[in-house]
Structure 1
Amino acid sequence: MSKFLERHLTEVEHALSLQADAVERMVQAAYEGLRERCLGTAAAVLDSEAELNRSEVDIEERCLELLALHQPVAVDLRRVAATLKINGDLERIGDLALNLAERTEDLARIPHVAVPAELETMVERAIEMLRDAHSAFVHVDEELARSVRLRDDEVDALNRGIIASLTKQMAAEPQQVEGLLHVFSASRIIERIADHATNIAEDVMYLAKGEITRHRWVKQSA
């Protein structure tokens, strides 16, 4: 591998790492807004999302340039492929962070609707998964990536429990349906954030070993 290719690969991976930091801050801001039930959260996250979108396009263009000019092979090709895929997942998490911030705004206007403690636990778990998936990418840590993938089951279980509880509450208190639907939506958004963190972890596993593990573990656990 040429020094030129290695330098540019390292630069793009560093840009992706900064992207992951920014996305984590967006999810954290949405979470804090949810916890504090404060207005203004969506506007702050929206400002971050605009920069995130610009960065996502820049990283993609740099990856495509590397593919066109250097035609990397073996592990270098995996590095570029993983960067492209993780870049897309991070952009989607940024979108979901904005969606969560919007639900936060809605709930701040309906203070009598309680936010379940399990929902806050879900956010904490999703942020931990995102942070560890990022760390796994930086260090090409297959075992840490694998642990992120396994933790997705906990978030899924929390989401199912929240939805079941909300469904019963809506039936018992139809006057609360509007507010409870915002909680329902927030839970689904958080579950999707965890899914994308899982995608990133699976891409790290591909980077480490060159084996695509996506979907296989679902079949094995069924």
Structure 2
Amino acid sequence: MRRIYDDELKSMHAQFTKMGLMVNENILLAVKAFINHDKEAANRVKKNDKAINNIELEIEEMCFKLIALQQPVSSDLRSIVTVMKASSDLERMGDHAVSIARSVIRVKELHNKRIPLVEGKIAEQAEVVKDMVEDSLDAYIRIDVEAAYTIAETDTKVDDLFVEINKLCLKEMAKDAEVVPGGTDYIAVSGYLERIGDYVTNICERIVYLKTGELSELN
């Protein structure tokens, strides 16, 4: 029975990792779609999100089944609760990728004037977020608390870029009224990336909880 239970736990963790990779790919696709004004790619982001939502429901069902049928010991229960909470964070990250995709479609339809400097900063912010997501998944697999703290600290860079992008947009919008609609979208997209960074920090907090049993705010 224990072997079967361990296999089910491994399957749960594998599904969570799979979901994380899917979310990360969709975030990157959404940002590339936004920078390239690629409406087709934006629609793919929206389509991919349905698969992400489905896998989250599968994970939730697996977790409830493990709790209801296996009566897990405290360490295993902590692991199950961690996956439930962290998969919810991943789902919200996926929702923000969809919000970025919707901005793409709006920008494409309105033919907004672009600000290349800001687009470069958004690409830079997205790269930091991508690394945070990938590193957090790796830290989760290894239950690496030190890595979790380091990743959470990186979120400060995401926040700083959000502030910088806001200032750049406001400066350009003040000089040229034609960039106001596009500038508003740049600020929104950067804000979505900033919130994704916050959710990655939440996952890092789950990693610390998984290892220590203690809830800590890392940022």
Q: Secondary structure at the match of 2:66?
A: helix
CA contact (8 A) 2:112 2:181 kept: no
Q: Partner residue of 2:161?
A: 158
Q: What does 1:132-211 correspond to in 2, within 5 Å?
A: 132-211=135-214
Q: Secondary structure at the match of 2:39?
A: coil
Q: Distance in 1 between matches of 2:181 and 2:112?
A: 12
Q: Distance in 2 between matches of 1:13 and 1:48?
A: 21
Q: What does 1:7-86 correspond to in 2, within 5 Å?
A: 7-86=7-86
Q: So what's the TM-score if we normalise by structure 1?
A: 0.91
Letter in 2 for 1:138: I
Equivalent pairs, count: 216
Query: Which segment drifts farther, 101-110 or 4-13?
Result: 101-110
Q: Distance in 1 between matches of 2:175 and 2:115?
A: 15
CA contact (8 A) 1:37 1:111 kept: no
Q: Partner residue of 1:112?
A: 113
Instruction: Specify every segment of 5 or more residues in structure 2 that has no aligned partner in the other structure, as ranges.
Output: none
CA contact (8 A) 2:96 2:192 kept: yes
CA drift of 1:83 comes to: 0.4
Query: Which segment drifts farther, 26-35 or 57-66?
Result: 26-35
Please report the RMSD computed on the Cα atoms of aligned residues, expressed in angstroms.
Answer: 1.6
Q: Distance in 2 between matches of 1:167 and 1:130?
A: 29
Letter in 1 for 2:72: P
2:211 is equivalent to residue 212 of structure 1: no
Instruction: Specify every segment of 5 or more residues in structure 1 that has no aligned partner in the other structure, as ranges.
Output: none
Q: Distance in 2 between matches of 1:173 and 1:204?
A: 46
CA drift of 1:56 comes to: 0.7
Q: Secondary structure at the match of 1:6?
A: helix
CA drift of 1:108 comes to: 4.0
Q: Distance in 1 between matches of 2:87 and 2:71?
A: 20
Q: Distance in 1 between matches of 2:147 and 2:190?
A: 25
Q: Partner residue of 1:90?
A: 90
Partner deviation per Cα, 1:169-222 (whole Å, 9 max, x = no partner): 2233233211111111111011011111111111111111111112xx44xxxx
Sequence identity percentage:
28
Q: Partner residue of 2:131?
A: 128
CA contact (8 A) 1:26 1:45 kept: yes
Q: Distance in 1 between matches of 2:203 and 2:132?
A: 10
Q: Distance in 2 between matches of 1:213 and 1:73?
A: 22
Name segments (4+ residues, structure 1) moved above 4 Å.
none
Q: Distance in 2 between matches of 1:135 and 1:104?
A: 30
Partner deviation per Cα, 1:22-68 (whole Å, 9 max, x = no partner): 11110111122133232212210111111111111111011011111
Letter in 1 for 2:189: A
CA contact (8 A) 2:173 2:180 kept: yes
